[in-house]
Structure 1
Amino acid sequence: MRSAQPRKVRELNSHYIEQHETQMEQRSKSKKGLARRLSALGLFVILSIAFTAITLHSQNSVLNEKLEKKQILENELARLQILERDLNDEIINLNNLEYISEIARRDYFLSRPGEIIFKVTSSSSD
């Protein structure tokens, strides 16, 4: 049996090994640089998407508020147009002498000469 002697292996310092090691170092640096660039690009894309989503959400909520306000104002406009039509009808009626005389008889109990006005109350015991 052989005794346990340490083996002496001599390392070859050849040009090929040095060149291979420098290539491996460059590849490692290149991979790290690529990873950094891709990480920065990914972060930029994520931030851009987040900013766009936040902007769209805020614009959508503002749009919904404005649509609700528009609906309320359209309802108010319709109500005011009906009121305007009624008031215009009232103006036309107030320029009519027969309508004025009817109101004077009904509300102020005025009568024509020789006319007697009776106020009749309606009973709700039907």
Structure 2
Amino acid sequence: MVQRHDKVTALNESYVTQEKKKQERAHRRKQGLVRRLTVFGVLVVIMFTFMVATLTSQAALIAEKKEEKQAVEQRLEEIKAEKAQLSDEVNKLQDPDYIGEVARRDYNMSKPGETIFKLPDSKEESR
């Protein structure tokens, strides 16, 4: 059997204190590293959140602008069609026969010796 000694001899105290100090420094460095990494991680998460929010808002803005562009393009087509119709009307107004027809129809004017008869509208006839 192994015999136990009641007396324990102390190791070199300066060596033990140096090792304890080394362990404490290593522990403090590790804690500092963990703190720095935590702060860095939080900053990365904040930046990532900011970037995602910015991209989301920009995507919504782009979609809104596309809808607005489509509406403006549709309005442009309507205006072009109206311009073509008005240009056609201007060309027709250069023709004296067309001017006479419009004057008779809209202003109830007549040529000399001509009699105008106003007929009831088709809605009034159905009553």
Name the TM-score, length of structure 2 as normaliser. Answer: 0.75
The correspondence of residues 108-123 of structure 1 with structure 2, limited to 5 A, is: 108-123=107-122
Gap regions ≥5 residues in structure 1 = 1-6
Structure 1 residues 85-124: aligned runs within 5 Å: 85-124=84-123
Q: What is the rounded CA distance, in whole Å, between the counterparts of 1:75 and 1:62 in structure 2?
A: 20
Q: In structure 2, what residue type is equivalent to 1:62?
A: L
Tell me the number of residue pairs that the alignment of Structure 1 and Structure 2 aligns: 120
* Structure 1 residue 49: Cα displacement: 0.2
Partners of 1:19 and 1:79 in 2: CA distance: 89
Percent identity, please.
Answer: 40
Stretches of structure 2 lacking an aligned partner (at least 5 in a row): 1-5
The Cα offsets for residues 64-103 of structure 1, whole Å up to 9 and x where unpaired, read as 3322322232222222222211211111111111111111
Which deviates more, 91-100 or 49-58? 49-58
Please give the root-mean-square deviation of Cα atoms over the aligned residues, in Å. Answer: 2.4
Task: Give 4+ residue runs of structure 1 displaced > 6 Å after superposition.
Answer: none
Distance 1:25 1:98, change over 3 A: same
- The separation in 2 between residues aligned to 1:14 and 1:108, in whole angstroms, is 123
Deviates more, 1:57-66 or 1:93-102: 57-66
